[in-house]
Structure 1
Amino acid sequence: MTSLDPHAVANGWLEAFQSAATAADVEALVDLFLPTGWLRDLLCFQWDMKSLGGHDNLKAYLSEKVDDRTRLARAGLYDVRIQPTSTLGPPVAFPLPSDPTKKGVQGAFEFGLTSPPAVGRGFFRVVQNPNGAWKALTVFLTLEDIKGHEEPRGRPLGLFPDLSTYDEVKAKELAAIDQDPTVLIIGGGQTGMMSAARLRKLGIRALVIDKNPTLAHVWRNRYPNLTTQTTAHHCSMAYQPWPTTYPKYIGKDKVADFLEFYAKAQDLRIWLSSTVDGVPLYDEEKKRWQVTVKRDGQKVYLEPKHIILAVGSGPANLPKVEGMSDFAGSVYHSDDHRGAAPFAGKRVVVVGSGNAGHDLCTDFVAKGASSVTMVQRSPTCVVSANTVDKAVFEVTFNEKYAIEDADFLGNSMPPGLGMKMAAGGGTARLKAMDKDLFDGLTKAGYQLTWEVTPGGGEVGFLGYLLARMAAGTMLDRGGGKLIIDGKVKVKNGEIVRFENDGVIFDDGSQAGADVVVYATGYLPLVENIKTIFGESITERIGTQMEGLDEGGEMRKGYRPTGQPGFWIVMGPFPYGRFFSKHLALQILAEELGLSSAGHSKL
């Protein structure tokens, strides 16, 4: 190829895409994809999230009958055009991973929808097939706004016709939320707050309750050297990115300070020291929950239409091991680690080889523990911060992109295809960048893996992030060097018994210890769900909340759960920031009566 005009390629393909969509011609539209091409649909063809690949799957999905019309016909895509106003810029050429000498074209576009009456945004990646025709490798479609109920994007005036002050208007708004919240959000961490902020922007009354006495309590009370695991831009809050004066990796107290301010700046209604009292009941006729909240010792009865569970994960996983009560030292979960200074000169054993385990080992080394041993129970997926910066953050989450555009670009790759591409060579390229680190860790006895499931392919860090919310990974920012230099010893295996002054491992070896910390993560989220809603709710929502469906979408997060009016939010900052919008749109659609068989709940 001697020359390539990305704009011309984009216009030509989008014109064909619109023609097929307008004619509701499933065959013609699917023919615009490679035989192995993928579609990611977030709320455009149904009130749910769907990723699927291959002509047969695309045809089956788009031709499925809804109200006597195909799904494609019912949605009624129209006015498909290149998006001119985006920090991502115009369509551009990109090198094909399989052959960098060949180019594809990618870019953002926008479109209208008839049902629901809405506007959407899309992203395409097209490549040439053997015959020279441009075909889609991926197409991403996401709902942006429901017409007549658009999210306000400009700065509000702050002046009111009845001459009220801003504080007076806000007081009325908060009082209305207290009296009759449409949505009750259980959990006031960053994900619960962002969900509330999204709903407020759409004019939906959302009340947040949190069991803790102060905002950002969980961040404030974690171990001293905790920081955001990824870059500041990647960890931005919805509507309110971190100030540019903040460091790249933000310390826990600075995060907590900002979250306290965020609640005020976004005018969120949050009840602290508040818990659900008794089991919430869903009234099928009223389509409302019956919930009693204990707030500062007083019981308050509420009837919200929706409940969002925003507690993050299940309870802390602290294994029960023989002889633990006989141990003369300290044993606790990483959630209860308040700093290593009291253990200077002590023998330390940290169980767990992921991010929390490395943070704790680093803290103990820094504060002068006499020895630090990391117990690695299974191989860990490792990638260095420098490599992730070069491969992800400097590319997709570069600060030249508005965070909304970075999220859009970052989510434009169907997750199932992303993992296939990682297993097909992407992970190998990242591994090569970290060869020295991996060689050193392996020599020190630290076991590595890039497979989420044995034999499932090296999906690497991306696969662990998608499938396990990054559990089982270590984003190395210096902890690896402590292992390589021998300042942290690695022991493979499990602790099977405690003795008075040490532990016994499953291979019969032993180690002296004065403190044992379990950085062993958390139990499944369903344990918290059953505690709040009772065992019977699992008859509708199942028992597995985490993980992925067949297309690589989250199994339950930010999408229909099976229980009307019940939603779950989960995951790190980027998940809460991006998908909270889609959750808010689904709730708005229900409030407007737009949900129907064609946009059905699972």
Structure 2
Amino acid sequence: MKENDSVIERAISVSIVLTQNTRQNEELPDPETAASEWMEKFNHALRSADVISLRKLMLSDSWWRDILAFTWDFHTFQGSEQISQSLVQYCKPTSLVDELSISPNSTTFEPGIGGDDDIIQAFIQYRSTNSWGRGLLRLRRDPDDGGVWKAWTLLTQMEGLTDHPESVGSRRPTGVLHGANPERVPWLQQRRKAAEFAESEPDVVVIGAGQGGLALAARLGRLGVNTLLLDQHDRVGDTWRERYDFLDLHSPAYFDHLPYLPFPDSWPTYSSKDRLADWLELYSVAMELNVWTSTRVVSESTYDSITKRWSVHIERPDGSRRTLQPRHLVLATGMSGAPLMPTIPGIESFTGEAIHSHQYTSGCAYKNKSAIVVGTGNSGHDIAQDLWEQGVSEVTLVQRSGTYVCSIDKGFGYYLEGLYDHTGPSVEDADLIQASNPYFLVGQLHREATRHIAENLDRDLLDGLRKVGFLLEFGEDYERGLFHNYLTRGGGYYVDVGASGLIASQEIKLRTGVQISRFDSDHVEFNDGTRMEADLVVFATGYKGMIDTARSLISSEHLNNCSKVWGLDDEGEIRGMWRPSGQEHLWFMGGNLNQARQYSKFLALLIKASEIELI
């Protein structure tokens, strides 16, 4: 496959990026008419619970992803047989969805993947007694049925609860009440009183005030759910401030907006960690979120299945203690839990410094000294680059296994092109398009994107790494790309912002396929018997997961009811995150800024629906 091919197969985690249609002379139906006719047949079959008719409307390899609309959970169904059976199963008199319709002026033709056929794409909508929502429909011809247009992908997604709309726009709070009133209380005094919960209990307690916790609290606040955020740090944003000095986001601002308050138009494409930290703090103030900083959970939280309330035991910065009793408890402590630090013989005798990457801030104290960095994910590369930039005389990167690498501009930019960039649709539409592609389908299509990046866009970059022995990992057929590794492992990749060039030029030395087996006073020894002198060893070896963090916060009696958190389940949905956890009224909120924006909406709707006893 050559870079200048007129049609390049590619897929991204957020959308299927389609290229120019090469079939100019073929007559095509009016897309809106075709989509409307399909939808009319679909609604009739759905109302009639007609499995056979529903099956005939779907391609044999079709996909239906539902986010709360039919199922009050995240589900992906594959194949016409499973989809038709599941639609009938979930579309009962108690279903939230009465019928679907095509959104006006939203239907378009899109060239097919690889030019094989065309796709009719339409935004869809529904409104029912209890909820309303949106979705996306893609139709393709069925070559085995005379070219009839049938559904290839269908997304149904809840956006809101009919009788409980968000307090935004025309429903925004009045704020200051004008007129003479001798009992009027200043706004600041009201805010302080509300944030203290001195005479009431919060409906929801969220442990962790990072991007996930903040986004969720903002969503819940707009739904009228009283929420309290707890964070052990001194300031909102400290989880970012306390990382290494040159940490920055590898995803662009278009991808990373928080709900209700997007970055300004002048915001840099890539944010430094301190800039982002300040933005999160500003966000918490602007959105009037109730945050208790410097607050610790001092013992395991327990749940009373009779009263339907949690007991969360906390300590405030002044040493005072309180037991909060919310109905819902959310862990937003971050996907990364406690550091994974290997136990290596002799480390106690090492006269240099051996630390985990979360303890690293800068290499300026090691100028003209030698350093070893273990691990080749984003943190390992960033730290090695910083050490070189700070004048460390010899920097060695230790690679234990293969790593996926792509450039930030050509590679990662290719994944997001046309969706999360300056040419893309609104953030709301981009998020809907992203959600419309089930993860397993993305995994299949993503191979072509990974192949094209590796063989064309990043070829020179990767060839340079290969020449010095860097172990690249793409899988047997390019199935292990950036987003595969993120969704299944939460790591195993590097988006290059400079370190790869230093490795290729051997400014940063490389050791591959080895591990440190022991320390002595001023050397490390590898498991192949070689030794290396070092003043600093940084272990960028990852972190434990959210469940491990939860073990110190929640009784094992309740935690044992939970599913695994992160990774994909049998349907291809992320396990345990933003959805029912298995333990009543316990929820997990995590992920990157993009996921914080998108999935906070669904978790907030689930909690609100529980509060009004809709579920």
TM-score, length-normalised on structure 1?
A: 0.91
Q: Any residues of structure 2 matched to 1:573-592 within 5 Å, and which?
A: 573-592=593-612
Given that 1:26 and 1:72 are in contact with CA atoms closer than 8 Å, whether structure 2 keeps it comes out as: no
Give me the whole-angstrom Cα distance separating, in 2, the residues matched to 1:281 and 1:334: 33
2:102 to 60, 73, 82: 82
Give me the whole-angstrom Cα distance separating, in 1, the residues matched to 2:406 and 2:40: 41
- Measured after TM superposition, the shift of residue 222 of structure 1 is 0.9
Given that 1:38 and 1:52 are in contact with CA atoms closer than 8 Å, whether structure 2 keeps it comes out as: yes
| 1:193 and 2:214 aligned | yes
Q: Which amino acid in 2 is paired with 1:364?
A: L
| 1:568 and 2:588 aligned | yes
Q: Which amino acid in 2 is paired with 1:128?
A: R
Q: Which amino acid in 1 is paired with 2:300?
A: V
| 1:227 and 2:248 aligned | yes
Moved more, 455-464 or 346-355: 455-464
Given that 2:234 and 2:293 are in contact with CA atoms closer than 8 Å, whether structure 1 keeps it comes out as: yes
Provide Cα deviations, 1:206-241, integer angstroms capped at 9, x if missing partner: 000001112111111111110112001111112111
Given that 1:354 and 1:472 are in contact with CA atoms closer than 8 Å, whether structure 2 keeps it comes out as: yes
- Measured after TM superposition, the shift of residue 166 of structure 1 is 4.5
Q: Tell me what 1:355 maps to.
A: 378
Indicate the SS of the match to 1:234.
Answer: helix
Q: Which amino acid in 2 is paired with 1:274?
A: T
1:533 to 554, 566, 573: 554
Given that 2:404 and 2:480 are in contact with CA atoms closer than 8 Å, whether structure 1 keeps it comes out as: no
Q: Tell me what 1:67 maps to.
A: none
2:465 to 422, 433, 441: 441
Moved more, 562-571 or 387-396: 387-396
CA distance 1:466–1:405, change in 2 (3 Å): same
Q: Tell me what 2:133 maps to.
A: 120
Q: Tell me what 1:181 maps to.
A: 202
Indicate the SS of the match to 1:531.
Answer: coil
Please identify runs of 4+ aligned residues in structure 1 that moved more than 6 A.
none
Q: Tell me what 2:325 maps to.
A: 303
- Measured after TM superposition, the shift of residue 173 of structure 1 is 4.0
- Measured after TM superposition, the shift of residue 144 of structure 1 is 0.8
Give me the whole-angstrom Cα distance separating, in 2, the residues matched to 1:178 and 1:578: 33
Q: Tell me what 2:15 maps to.
A: none
Q: Tell me what 2:529 maps to.
A: 508
Given that 1:546 and 1:555 are in contact with CA atoms closer than 8 Å, whether structure 2 keeps it comes out as: yes
1:92 to 104, 108, 112: 108
Q: Tell me what 1:160 maps to.
A: 177
1:427 to 450, 453, 470: 450
Moved more, 37-46 or 55-64: 55-64
Q: Any residues of structure 2 matched to 1:431-510 within 5 Å, and which?
A: 431-432=454-455, 433-451=457-475, 458-469=479-490, 471-492=491-512, 493-510=514-531
| 1:41 and 2:46 aligned | no
CA distance 1:172–1:7, change in 2 (3 Å): farther
- Measured after TM superposition, the shift of residue 175 of structure 1 is 4.8
Tell me the percent identity: 33
Given that 2:299 and 2:552 are in contact with CA atoms closer than 8 Å, whether structure 1 keeps it comes out as: no
Q: Which runs of 5+ in 2 are unaligned?
A: 1-25
Q: Any residues of structure 2 matched to 1:66-465 within 5 Å, and which?
A: 71=91, 74-75=94-95, 77-84=97-104, 90-97=106-113, 99-100=114-115, 102-114=117-129, 117-130=130-143, 131-154=146-169, 156=172, 157-160=174-177, 166-167=187-188, 170-171=191-192, 173-176=194-197, 179-296=200-317, 297-312=319-334, 313-399=336-422, 400-423=424-447, 425-432=448-455, 433-451=457-475, 458-465=479-486
- Measured after TM superposition, the shift of residue 364 of structure 1 is 0.7
Indicate the SS of the match to 1:462.
Answer: helix
Q: Which amino acid in 2 is paired with 1:7?
A: E
Q: Which amino acid in 2 is paired with 1:57?
A: Q
Q: Which amino acid in 2 is paired with 1:577?
A: R
Q: Tell me what 2:18 maps to.
A: none
Give me the whole-angstrom Cα distance separating, in 2, the residues matched to 1:107 and 1:62: 20
- Measured after TM superposition, the shift of residue 159 of structure 1 is 4.2
Give me the whole-angstrom Cα distance separating, in 2, the residues matched to 1:30 and 1:579: 30
| 1:520 and 2:541 aligned | yes
Give me the whole-angstrom Cα distance separating, in 2, the residues matched to 1:75 and 1:18: 14
Give me the whole-angstrom Cα distance separating, in 2, the residues matched to 1:25 and 1:406: 33
Given that 2:340 and 2:542 are in contact with CA atoms closer than 8 Å, whether structure 1 keeps it comes out as: yes
- Measured after TM superposition, the shift of residue 580 of structure 1 is 0.7
Q: Which amino acid in 2 is paired with 1:481?
A: G
Indicate the SS of the match to 1:532.
Answer: coil
Give me the whole-angstrom Cα distance separating, in 1, the residues matched to 2:302 and 2:96: 38
Indicate the SS of the match to 2:384.
Answer: helix
- Measured after TM superposition, the shift of residue 171 of structure 1 is 4.6
Indicate the SS of the match to 1:561.
Answer: coil
Give me the whole-angstrom Cα distance separating, in 1, the residues matched to 2:133 and 2:585: 25
Give me the whole-angstrom Cα distance separating, in 2, the residues matched to 1:272 and 1:173: 15
Provide Cα deviations, 1:523-544, integer angstroms capped at 9, x if missing partner: 12222111111333342115x3
Count of aligned positions: 577
CA distance 1:34–1:581, change in 2 (3 Å): same
- Measured after TM superposition, the shift of residue 105 of structure 1 is 1.4
Give me the whole-angstrom Cα distance separating, in 1, the residues matched to 2:29 and 2:369: 65
Q: Which amino acid in 2 is paired with 1:120?
A: G
Given that 1:18 and 1:77 are in contact with CA atoms closer than 8 Å, whether structure 2 keeps it comes out as: no
Q: Which runs of 5+ in 1 are unaligned?
A: 65-69, 596-602
- Measured after TM superposition, the shift of residue 276 of structure 1 is 1.3
1:32 to 27, 35, 57: 57
- Measured after TM superposition, the shift of residue 385 of structure 1 is 1.4
Give me the whole-angstrom Cα distance separating, in 2, the residues matched to 1:465 and 1:20: 39
After superposition, the CA RMSD in angstroms is: 2.0
- Measured after TM superposition, the shift of residue 415 of structure 1 is 0.9
- Measured after TM superposition, the shift of residue 79 of structure 1 is 5.0
Given that 1:340 and 1:364 are in contact with CA atoms closer than 8 Å, whether structure 2 keeps it comes out as: yes
CA distance 1:488–1:319, change in 2 (3 Å): same
Given that 2:517 and 2:525 are in contact with CA atoms closer than 8 Å, whether structure 1 keeps it comes out as: yes
Given that 1:39 and 1:138 are in contact with CA atoms closer than 8 Å, whether structure 2 keeps it comes out as: yes
Given that 2:503 and 2:510 are in contact with CA atoms closer than 8 Å, whether structure 1 keeps it comes out as: yes
Given that 2:96 and 2:131 are in contact with CA atoms closer than 8 Å, whether structure 1 keeps it comes out as: no
Give me the whole-angstrom Cα distance separating, in 1, the residues matched to 2:107 and 2:187: 43
Provide Cα deviations, 1:178-219, integer angstroms capped at 9, x if missing partner: 721000000111111111111001000000000111211111
Indicate the SS of the match to 1:560.
Answer: coil
- Measured after TM superposition, the shift of residue 49 of structure 1 is 0.5
Q: Tell me what 2:21 maps to.
A: none
CA distance 1:27–1:120, change in 2 (3 Å): farther
Q: Which amino acid in 1 is paired with 2:141?
A: Q
- Measured after TM superposition, the shift of residue 154 of structure 1 is 0.8
Moved more, 100-109 or 209-218: 100-109
Given that 2:439 and 2:573 are in contact with CA atoms closer than 8 Å, whether structure 1 keeps it comes out as: yes
- Measured after TM superposition, the shift of residue 428 of structure 1 is 1.7
- Measured after TM superposition, the shift of residue 4 of structure 1 is 4.7
Give me the whole-angstrom Cα distance separating, in 2, the residues matched to 1:459 and 1:5: 39
Given that 1:316 and 1:522 are in contact with CA atoms closer than 8 Å, whether structure 2 keeps it comes out as: yes
Give me the whole-angstrom Cα distance separating, in 2, the residues matched to 1:434 and 1:563: 45
- Measured after TM superposition, the shift of residue 59 of structure 1 is 3.4
Given that 1:398 and 1:406 are in contact with CA atoms closer than 8 Å, whether structure 2 keeps it comes out as: no
